Structure formats: structure tokens, C-alpha cells
Chain A
Amino acid sequence: MTPIRRDILIGLICIAVALVVPFVFGGRYVVTQATVFFVWAIVVVQWNLVLGVGGIFSLAQMALFAIGGYATAMLGFYLKVPMLVAIPLGGLIAVVAGMIIGLACLRLRGPYVALLTLAIAQVMYVLIVNDTGCFTNVSGCMPLFGGVRGIGQFGDLGFRSLFPSKWYIAHYYVALGLLALAFVFSVAVIRGPLGLAFKALRDSPGYALSRGISRFKYQLWIFAVSAFFTGIAGGFYAVHFRVIGPTVFSFSLLLFLIAMIVVGGMGSIWGPLLGAALLMLADEGMKEFSDYRNIGLGLLITLFVIAWPRGLAGWFDRLRALRTRTPS
């Protein structure tokens, strides 16, 4: 079986399983948690494009997620834009923001990028949280970006009135659809010209450069394209929880998402998805020990980076290599 066929097969099986989940485990808790998983999986899959495929040390992905969410919420709240339009617009705004951040930091070398993107996210957080002036007084005093409490009451996808008791299942399928799109998109990027360009730049930088593959240009591209679905995920997150607030900038969340990528395997196609699923499950299973959550995440990240830098995807590759070698 060729790798592409294998990927398609695994993908179809996953989607088929995911489609029946709400009918098997009808409980609201399971379905809602699965929806949240889809949202994080979208972010992680897109982040993997930047971090693993592009080799850019960006920590701005949650900032882009927040930009998408805030843009969606603010379009809905201030301009009364329907959510169906506002979410894609949020994605586009995230792309623009991604390109600006990219222009500001991609000329720099690896670690400089990480620090600058982290600092940008931090500044956004500080500016939003410390804003206490009233921008509108429609429903009580609210700063332009909602301040500490965030923005709410900006509209809905309409499922809540359509299926009053089962709206969360509708959201589940929307999120699943978005994840499928985002995932296919990421595979297309990895296997397409962008991914090939980065492979060339990694395998033989000198030759690639002399054939006219500009690292800067492609890095900017991958930064921009990965921002789109991240922003959309942010918009969907805002609509799903009916609020977007500064908690999306929290370090704990950033740690959680990095752990997903690292455990799954940076730069691989399936790794981030696998890592996201595993960590969500582990997080559920260890709810009682939530005090130790960050300690566990930190240890996990450190352990994986040191012992298995290619993550679980690396394990599977090794297994496959063993299997093909034994018969011959």
C-alpha cells in the first residue's frame, strides 16, 4: 500500500468512527469533550505545519487562535455580523495577523522567533486584561476587547434554537467537519509544493537555495496558511462556549498543546492528531489529580523530547521498519 492510500484509509476509518460516536455515547459530557478535542486537534495540526514542517520556532499559534476568536466575537458583537460569515472572516483576519507577525520575526534565527512570538502573545494578554476603560455601555460597561471577563453575547450558529436539546451534537459534527478539512489541508501542504520545498531546504539547503527556493518566502507562506484554520478554530471555540476571554492565552493551555505535538511526533502527519487524542484522554482519566496536571505535562514533554524526540509517530515508523526488514 502506498503511503497516500494508507493515509486515506486511516482517515476514512477515523471519520467513520467519529461519525457514530454521538449515537453510541450519547452523553452530553462525552460529546462536548470530543468537540473540544476537535478544536485543539485543529490548532495542533496547523501548528505542526509551522513547528514541525516549516521548522519555525513559533509560539504564536495560540495568539492567532485568540485573534480568530476575538475577531469573530467582535464582528458579531459590534457589527452584528452573522456567525456563519464572522467565523471565516475571523480566519482571514488571523491570516493577515499571521503575515504581520511573520514579517516581523521570520528574518530572525530560530530562538529569536520563539521569544518574539511569546512576547507578542504576552503583550496581547496584558493589553486585554489591563484594559478597564468602558468602550460601550450597551449591556454594562465593557472595554473594547472585553477586559478580564471577555466578550459574550455575539450570536450563534443557530443550532441552539434549531435543536434546543441536542445542539451540542450539531456542534460536534461541525467541529468534526472543520477538523477533517483542516487535516486534509495539512496533508496537502505537507505532501504539496510547500512541504516539498521545506524537505528540500532541510535535506540539502545549499542546493535548494541555488535552485531558487527562498526559505523566507516559504516560511511566510506556511505561517499564513496555518493561521487560517487556527483562526477558524478560534472562532468556532468562541461560538461554542459563547464567550472568548483572555484565558486562551494561559500558559497551561500552551503547555498542553505543545505536549500534544511533542508526544505525537513533530513534523509527522498523524503524530499531532494522535498526541492530541492521547493527551485529552489522559487529562480526562486523571481529573482527580488535576493539581498535578502541569507537573505531569512538564515531565511528559521533557521525557519525550529527551527519550523519543520523534514522538509516537517515530515509534510506529520504527515498528514498520522492523516489520519490512524481517521477511527479506
Chain B
Amino acid sequence: MDVVIQIIASGLTLGAMYAVATVGLSLVYGSLNMLNMAHGALLTLGGYMCYAAITHLGFHPIFGLVAAALVCALAGLAIYVFATLPLLRAENFETNIFIATIGIGAVIESLMLKSFGPYPIPQPLAVSGSVVIGNVHIPLQNIMILLTALVAMAAVALLLQKTRAGRAIRATSMSRDAAQLMGVRVGQIYAQVLALSGGLAAISGVMISSIATLTPVMGGDPMLKAFIICIVAGLGNVYGAVLAAIVLGLLEAATQYVLGVRWSFATLLLLVILVLIWRPYGLFGRQQVVRL
């Protein structure tokens, strides 16, 4: 029983972190058909910015998190202005933006490496102490991560469902042309979505680095997992992505316990391949009509 509680606790934490990372990716893919390979680098940037704001500038931890989110939102905006906007006008947008964001991600990660060095740094935004459930000690940090993720998710859901901007985002992802004809400024929506996704990436980066450590390459692994989650859920399906993130987080915690850390990623991938053979568009993905 204790083992089950342990697995659920760490699985939910993992799932919550992945969910925040995934929602950003999924939003961007859903509205722009753009796979943002720089997302992992934005996670790293967020983690380091939070660290820098707290230790070097002496910010209160909460403001450190906000500052990190703002910097990453700006970075997302910069990606829109300098890469997405010019590429949208040319053909082969999907391939080109994919390659361009690989380049951007490499630049951001190398800049972090240059400015903060290759050695792991602990994330100052952390709480100590733990709660005891049964015989299991659950660190307060995990609970804080879970709460932060819940707040972030709720905010995104409110934004998407209740506000004018959110309705425009949803409309754009359903049909870009129709939204444009109805007077939605698609360019503005794209900029908003990329900034929002940058901010979410920062939050997720801070959370991930608070239970692991800050390193310049920390973004790669969560990004790959976020992508896998997106794929399982169907690219662009935001709510499916949240569900899939939590399920995969629990699954990862369970495989880590049963088979060892080494096999957790391999098992995850095997599962994904099976899902994709069974349903090539993901569990909740709509089958898109192939345009000839």
C-alpha cells in the first residue's frame, strides 16, 4: 500500500510538470501547425532566469517565477517575430519552422552554457519539509509543484474558455481561414500563443529544476517527453494532452519502481509506438483529411 501511495505521489508530480510543458507545445501546434523544437531550451531558460532573479537580483521567489515567465514569454514573442513571421509567408512552413527552431534552441542552450557554466546548480525556489501519508514521506516540494501546475492549468483553461482572446485562439486552431474571415487577427493570435507557451515553459522549467537541478541540457528530456505526450494525445489537443501527461507520469513512476529507471523511457516509447500503430493520429486526435 505504501508503495502505491509513493508511486501515485511521484507519478502525479511528474505528470503535473509534464502537463505544464505539454500544454504550451500543444497550443502552439494546434494553432500554428508549428512544432517548436526550441521549447526545451525555453524550459532551461526559465529555470536559469528564476535562479538568476532570486540569487543575483535578490527577488522574492514568487517574483522570481514571474520574472522567469515574463522573460520566456518575451523569448516566445521573439521567436514569433524573427522566425515564424518570415517563414509563414514562404512555402513549406512546417518543415522550415521545425528546422529553424532546432537552431534557435541550440543557440539558447549554448548561451545558458556560456553564462552559467556546465555544472548543475540547485534551484533556489524550493520548500523543505514533508507530509506523512501512511508511512510515506511526501516532500512539500512535490505538493507545491502539484498546486502550481493546477493553478497554471486552471488559468489556461479559463483563458481559453472564458475570454475573448481564448475564443479567438480556439477559433484559429479550428480553422485558420474561417477565423481570419470572421475578423480574427491571426498574426496577433500567433504572437499571443507563442508568448503564452513561453511563459508556461518557464513555469515548467522552474518546477522541473526544483526537484532535479539546473543544467544547460535539462530541457531536452522533458521536451521529448512532452512531445511524446502530445503525440499520444494527438497533436494540438490541449485537454487530451493534460490527461495523457498525468497518465504517462503515473506510468513512468510505476515502471521506474518495477523495472528500474533505465527502462522507464524505453517502455514509454514502446507504448507510444504501439498507440501510434493502433491510432496514427493519437488517442484523442481528430483524423485530418489529407489535402491533395
Q: Which A residues fall within an 8 A CB radius of B?
A: 55, 57, 104-105, 107-112, 114-116, 118-120, 122-123, 126-127, 130-131, 205-206, 209, 251, 255, 258-259, 262, 291-292, 294-295, 297-302, 305-306, 309
Contacts and interface: CB of A to CB of B under 8 A. Distances in A.
A309 B227 contact: no
B103 interface: yes
B93 to A, nearest CB: 10
Given A108-B280, A294-B110, A119 B269 contact: yes
Contacts of B110: 292, 294-295, 298
The size class of the interface chain B forms with chain A is: 35 or more
A301 B99 contact: yes
A110 B228 CA distance: 14
A146 to B, nearest CB: 16
A305 B103 contact: yes
A302 B100 contact: yes
A255 B102 contact: yes
Interface stretch (B8-16, B82-90, B166-174): B82-90
Contact of B276 (A108, A205, A305): A108
Contacts of A301: 99-100, 102-103, 106
Given A112-B235, A119-B227, A297 B106 contact: yes
Contact of A306 (B86, B92, B228, B269): B86
B272 interface: yes
Given A111-B35, A298-B106, A299-B107, A305 B100 contact: yes
B177 interface: no
Nearest to B99: A305
Interface of B: 29, 35, 82-83, 86-87, 90, 92, 94-96, 98-100, 102-107, 109-111, 113-114, 220, 224, 227-228, 231, 235, 261-262, 265-266, 269, 272-273, 276-277, 280, 288, 292
B224 A104 contact: no
A57 to B, nearest CB: 7
Nearest to A295: B110
Name the prevailing secondary structure of the A interface residues.
helix
A116 B103 contact: no
Name the residue in B96, B105, B107, B111 with the highest tally of chain A Cβ atoms < 10 Å from its Cβ: B107
Given A111-B94, A292-B110, A302 B276 contact: no
Given A114-B35, A309-B92, A206 B98 contact: no
A298 B276 contact: no
A297 B39 CA distance: 18
Contacts of A255: 102-103, 106
Contacts of A205: 292
Name the residue in B110, B272, B292 with the highest tally of chain A Cβ atoms < 10 Å from its Cβ: B110
B266 A123 contact: yes
Nearest to B288: A109
Given A123-B269, A126-B262, A309-B92, A294 B109 contact: yes
